[in-house]
């Protein structure tokens, strides 16, 4: 049996689908469905069983969990604005530590979600301690567990892989509300308001010019499954495309793909601005000094670990996402 925690969440449910595509259905889905609407992410998935996260945690603590082949630990509080440090550290750090220690005792591969939030404001995004300065307790909760892995690297009994996700977008993120991707919010804004708003220039970047490493959830699943296939590889790895692109690219791709669905021609960024489809608002004062204006994953370690597939750029991945959402809405 393979365990996926956070299985009803964004990345977790996509990993379940990725496993299903391989014919793997003996999956224990672990999550918290107090927010019952998240069940929709598991519709269409094949799993063997579902357990509430607290039940699974108790089984791990009592050492009475069923036989497990591998754990994809995606369950966490992903709200970077959460200020309750006690809750964040228990949910993100302590639970991860408990699962890790159980997996080590039983020699079970453990692939977990870290985050690019450990790097704070950057500007360097290689997996080195000198680059890691988290700006919030969410980032710190991920950072601290990564340090545990580093400290125990030379005494591991089974694979441990931490994947530092950059800006992930794609299907199954609707429940994330304000923490959903830029692409998701751009889609909804254009459909509801007929235009998309981006932050204006700041920090040396022009209007909509701040740049992030945006990665499709399809590529994130591919990286996770690569490590499942290579149990001899352990470590902490960036999971991004290695390509920073401006927010303008996301907005333009969203708008033009939605226009395409109505048989309307694609417009250049200058045309989108002049016709009012793309608008800019003053950069918020309260975000100045606390905002990642630029992120770009250093993929050196990931490539050295044998992952050699290419990643979708924004123009390809976001367009695929928009078309997928349109198809879902028509079904």
Q: pLDDT per residue over 57-94, tens digit each?
A: 999 999 999 899 999 999 998 877 778 889 889 989 99
pLDDT (0 to 100) of residue 100: 98
Helix (H) or strand (E) holding 274: helix 269-274
* Structure-token match 């996402």, residue found: 321
Asked if 87 is an active-site residue, the reply is: no
Q: How much is the average pLDDT of 39-60?
A: 96
Compute the distance between CA of residue 139 and CA of residue 117 in angstroms, rounded to an integer: 5
Going by pLDDT thresholds of 50, 70 and 90, the confidence category of residue 238 is very high
Q: Of 119, 125, 138, 307, which is the active-site residue?
A: 138
Q: Where are the beta strands (DSSP E) in the chain?
A: 2-5, 27-31, 49-52, 70-73, 110-115, 160-165, 167-169, 196-199, 211-212, 214-216, 235-239, 245-246, 278-281
Considering 176, 205, 280, 291, which one is annotated as catalytic?
176
**pLDDT at position 32, please?**
95
The overall average pLDDT reported for the chain is 95
Confidence of residue 331 (pLDDT cuts 50, 70, 90): low
Quote the CA–CA distance of 238 and 167 in Å, as a whole number: 11
Question: What pLDDT shows up at residue 176?
Answer: 86
Active site residue 176: yes
What is the pLDDT averaged over residues 295-324? 98
Lowest mean pLDDT among 28-37, 156-165, 268-277: 28-37
The pLDDT value given to residue 274: 98
pLDDT in tens, 211-225: 999 999 999 999 999
Domains annotated for the chain, with CATH where assigned, are 2-169+215-242+296-311 (3.40.50.720), 174-210+246-287 (no CATH)
Average pLDDT (40-64) is 96
pTM of the entire predicted model? 0.95
Q: Using alpha carbons, select from 114, 95, 69 the residue that is nearest to residue 228.
A: 69
Q: What is the pLDDT of residue 175?
A: 86
- For residue 51, the SS3 value is strand
| pLDDT tens column, 94-106 | 999 999 999 999 9
């Amino acid at each position: 049996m393979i365990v996926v925690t956070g299985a009803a969440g964004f990345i977790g449910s996509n990993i379940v689908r990725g496993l299903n595509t391989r014919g793997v259905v003996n999956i224990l889905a672990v999550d918290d469905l107090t927010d019952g609407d998240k069940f929709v992410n598991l519709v269409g998935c094949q799993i063997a069983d579902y357990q509430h996260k607290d039940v699974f945690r108790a089984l791990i603590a009592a050492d009475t969990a069923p036989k497990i082949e591998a754990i994809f630990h995606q369950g966490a509080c992903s709200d970077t604005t959460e200020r309750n440090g006690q809750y964040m550290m228990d949910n993100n750090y302590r639970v991860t530590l408990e699962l890790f220690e159980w997996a080590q005792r039983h020699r079970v591969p453990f692939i977990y979600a870290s985050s690019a939030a450990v790097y704070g404001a950057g500007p360097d995004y290689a997996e080195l301690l000198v680059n890691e300065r988290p700006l919030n307790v969410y980032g710190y909760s991920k950072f601290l567990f990564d340090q545990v892995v580093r400290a125990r690297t030379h005494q591991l009994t089974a694979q441990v892989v931490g994947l530092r996700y950059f800006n992930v977008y794609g299907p199954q993120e609707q429940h994330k509300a304000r923490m959903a991707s830029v692409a998701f919010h751009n889609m909804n804004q254009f459909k509801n308001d007929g235009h998309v708003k981006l932050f204006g220039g700041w920090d040396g970047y022009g209007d909509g010019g701040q740049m992030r490493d945006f990665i499709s959830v399809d590529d994130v699943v591919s990286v996770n499954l690569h490590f499942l296939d290579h149990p001899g590889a352990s470590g902490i790895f960036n999971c991004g495309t290695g390509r920073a692109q401006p927010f303008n690219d996301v907005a333009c791709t969203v708008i033009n793909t939605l226009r395409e669905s109505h048989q309307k021609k694609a417009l250049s960024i200058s045309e989108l601005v002049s016709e009012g489809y793309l608008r800019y608002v003053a950069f918020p004062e309260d975000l100045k000094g606390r905002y990642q204006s630029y992120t770009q994953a250093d993929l050196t370690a990931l490539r050295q670990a044998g992952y050699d597939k290419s990643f979708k750029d924004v123009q390809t991945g976001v367009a695929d996402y928009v078309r997928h959402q349109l198809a879902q809405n028509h079904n």
